[in-house]
Structure 1
Amino acid sequence: MKPSTQRDPRQAKPARYSAAGDEFLFVELSEAMNLEAFFRGVSITSRLAEREIPGVAEICPANASYQVRYDPDRLPLSRLIETLEQIDAEVLGQQVQRLETRVVEVPVLYNDPWTHETLMRFRDRHQDPSGTDLEYAARINGFASVDGFIEAHSASPWFVSMVGFVAGLPFMYQMVPRERQIEVPKYVRPRTDTPKQTVGYGGCFSCIYSVRGAGGYQMFGVTPMPIYDPSGSQPHIDDSMIYFRPGDIVKHRPVDRSEYDAMVAAAEAGRFRPKTAPFVFDLDEYREAPEAVARRVEEVLNEH
């Protein structure tokens, strides 16, 4: 992934640097999630990684911020901040706003029996105990039917803006104009159970639960695609054990039960291969014609 951005330094807010204990530095770029803040963060962290600075142990980009773990015996905090300020100034002065990344197709069985069984067990923790998560999400977003809501969720591409909460879980930001973004609140009280590889939603973010466990996001379906592999049995996941990276572009594709079952069998046999394609995302192009960019995402997947 090779990102570069352009921002007017006079308009960009200064980054806020906060020490977190003796080994971590938290850097906040914006109080709101937007593509500009995301591009700025992923560009800074990518450049920091490329420099391979002694003492930098780990770099964790997030939606509108990032965190760096460092060894204070090898790299003083003041020098780390000075380096990051220098990189930030370089990023803000870039003339091109492009991200060389990949598009990933994620098959989804919406309205599946496993998330349905789970959500019915936890209706007392939900805003609307009388319906399902999909029915609630469709209604509050003004869709006439669940099918219409599923079409909106699967038709648009999504940016992976960060990976975390639990190992391998991607948070995804919808690539549509702000007025068309789906928004659904989290459960009133978190569940104590969520099926593995559930496609969830909270606020303006979609996610995929990499493991079974507690959670508070609305549950829309499941994917047969393994995204976290501590066993090393999935050839599409490298030694990091985690498939997604910040900057990936995701396109959901609805599948039926028979196709889902076939993909699960392929994954269990170590034969699952996600459909991917290289992609160059241009922020200026997206601002001017988001629908055209969304069509191009689908086109490059169809070509592969």
Structure 2
Amino acid sequence: MDLMPAEIDGLLTNYVYRDDGALDDLIAAGPASLHRLLAILAGRAEPGWDMAEITRHDRDDYRRPGSLQILLAKAFPDALFDALADDPSLESVLARETFSCVEDARTLPFLERQLRSRSPEYRRRALRGLAENGTADHTEAVLACLADPEVRPDALATLARLGDARAVEPLLRAHTADDSPLARLAGLALDQVEQRLGGPPAPPVWRELGPVAFTAETVGLGVPWNVAEVLVEPGQTVRGGELMATLSNDAIDQELITDWPGTVTEVRITVGDEVPEAAIVLVVRSRRRIG
């Protein structure tokens, strides 16, 4: 639908002040909504809201202009990249998440630039965007990020998505380096890369860890857990990081996820069961990749 700038401004203002229903009308108005918002954020048009107030709230979780920009960029990617081609300075007013949220190969030059940023947050966002839009051409740059502790978890996740054989050896070294959570993440990434490649290039070497018991974690409520979901059975092989079951009670849900790959040897629960806190519900004979 065709709207006047003043009408678009009204919808933008309504959304910024928490009227989620305005989003449908903004999208119906087409790319003009995105162009108008970018003009406001670039200081070329007056917003219908108090930007100082919005900025103060942005320190918490009130990030409506930025989130709206991302939603409109995802809805109108052609308009976004056309605007950037006409005026490269607009890049500086885009929310740092924008390029990591838009699934479009045209984000790649911007993501590559963000990956070289001094800001860890920009580098993390770039890695997340490369996980969606990157190619094997980005493997070496992402592997270099494994040396940066501020972005290493995101680099591991991105390597898992890129699925390049060049990542196998570095991921194996990271996985076997120690027993840290990052080493486990490296193992998950390694497993995903090898799956994409059709299997490991050489037979893996394993160390048996023995049986690992999974319990209904104590939360001090004194109420039983309800078994919401059971996804495994005895004899089943599970991968590291695999969800095996979900328990719930009046306060929280608990997911039972494998730390290391292995074989399920016992399943003591079924859907609908009530189990007391600290009860053993699953047992897995685990093993760890060592080569």
TM beyond 0.5: no
Which TM-score applies when normalising by structure 2?
Answer: 0.25
- Relative to its length, the structure with more helix (as a share) is 2
Q: Which has the higher contact order (CA 8 A, sep 6+)?
A: 1
The structure that has the greater radius of gyration is 2
